[in-house]
Amino acid sequence: MRVGAFLLAGQFPGQDHGTVLERTVAAAVAAEDAGFDDVWIAEHHFMTYGVCPSAITWAGYVLGRTRRIEVGTAVSVLSTVHPVAFGEQAALLDQLSGGRFRLGIGRGGPWVDLEVFGTGRERIEDEGFAASLDLLLRWLTRDSVAGDGGLFPFREVAVVPRPATRPRLPVVLACTSPRSAALAAARGLSMLLGMNISDSQKAELVADYTATAQRAGHDPDGARHVFAALAHVADTRQEALATLRAAMPPWLGPGLAGFQALDGQPRRYSDPLEYTELLCSLNPIGSPDECVAHLRRTQRRTGIDHAILMVDACGDRKATLANIARLGAEVLPHLQSSREASAGALDAAG
């Protein structure tokens, strides 16, 4: 099983932005030291739920602070940027990192971000988002690209620099519904599934993906789907739950309230206590053995063998680093051992 770290960069009470970002970078470096395969950062705008407004910029910085670990965006919001400008940045990081950069993108929602950046609602609607996605994919695979004459009318220009990874820099698409799963499948992209849905819901999206991919002529077995999971390890499940129940609601309350609707209408926010309990019920929380068993169960039920673990839900720097260290020492070896054994057998076979 491939295991990465997933960082939200949430601003907890009493913390300033610099403290949050320093903690998040320290967590990424610690994840490399602890043996994680990759580390991914979330992107949010104008809210304390996450204070990283540019996942790709953060990824570039962390690539410079690390040597082995792969670094990805989970996700960069495509609807708030021009696909070509974003494609240029992705290609640049692919070249400079020696192939360690991983690209995760998402649709985003009907938030005020679309107003601030001037992209508008049409960029998150089906045709608009599909046009953005297709332009980005063309940019990552061709030597020159012209606009589509619709949302993106421009003459043909050279792709400079071209990505080093060929035939295409791997892309994962955040999927929350059969509609988004179908979009990914039709283009041969892998899915990134969230930590707020059950294993059965993940499995349903994989089934939807498989059916559409087959109809589109893509091999569904070639996809490398990823699922995110909140993960906190302690000596007992009760101890882990107590830590998260104390830390998460004070962050989630003002954090979730930061989502401002594009139309200015008030919206109903998830109750922070209820959302904390939901996440704790769906994800690997508890002793090392419990975390291993939970992740293996999700892998078995969904067929997905790449997990990215949200390790910073406690909000405290020292506790986050301790969580990463314990996951690395007591959980990852049990998940990664079969992969390493297989690699060893191949080496022995010559």
Domain boundaries of the chain, sorted by first residue: 2-349
- Could you tell me the pLDDT band of residue 350, with boundaries at 50, 70 and 90? very low
pLDDT digits (tens, 9 = 90+) for 70-127: 999 999 999 999 999 999 999 999 999 999 999 999 999 999 999 999 999 999 999 9
314, exposed or middle or buried, with CB in 10 Å at 0-12, 13-18, 19+? buried
338 has a pLDDT exceeding 70: no
Q: Residues 146-157: what's their mean pLDDT?
A: 94
59 has a pLDDT exceeding 90: yes
Q: What distance in Å separates the CA atoms of residue 4 and residue 332, rounded to the nearest whole number?
A: 10
Q: Give the pLDDT confidence score for residue 269 in this predicted structure.
A: 80
Please state, for a pLDDT cut of 70, what percent of the chain lies above it: 96
**283: which 2 tokens?**
């994800």
Q: Residues 176-199: what's their mean pLDDT?
A: 97
Quote the mean pLDDT of the chain.
Answer: 95
Q: What is the pTM of this model?
A: 0.95
Q: Give the pLDDT confidence score for residue 267 in this predicted structure.
A: 80
Contact 233, 330 (CB under 8 A): yes
Domain 2-349 CATH assignment equals 3.20.20.30? yes
129 has a pLDDT exceeding 70: yes
349 has a pLDDT exceeding 50: no
**251: which 2 tokens?**
């962050």
Q: Give the pLDDT confidence score for residue 340 in this predicted structure.
A: 47
Q: Give the pLDDT confidence score for residue 337 in this predicted structure.
A: 65
Q: Give the pLDDT confidence score for residue 343 in this predicted structure.
A: 38
> What ranges make up the beta strands (E) of the chain?
2-7, 38-41, 70-73, 76-77, 101-106, 144-145, 157-158, 171-174, 190-193, 226-230, 232-233, 285-286, 306-310
Q: Give the pLDDT confidence score for residue 348 in this predicted structure.
A: 36
**82: which 2 tokens?**
């021009």
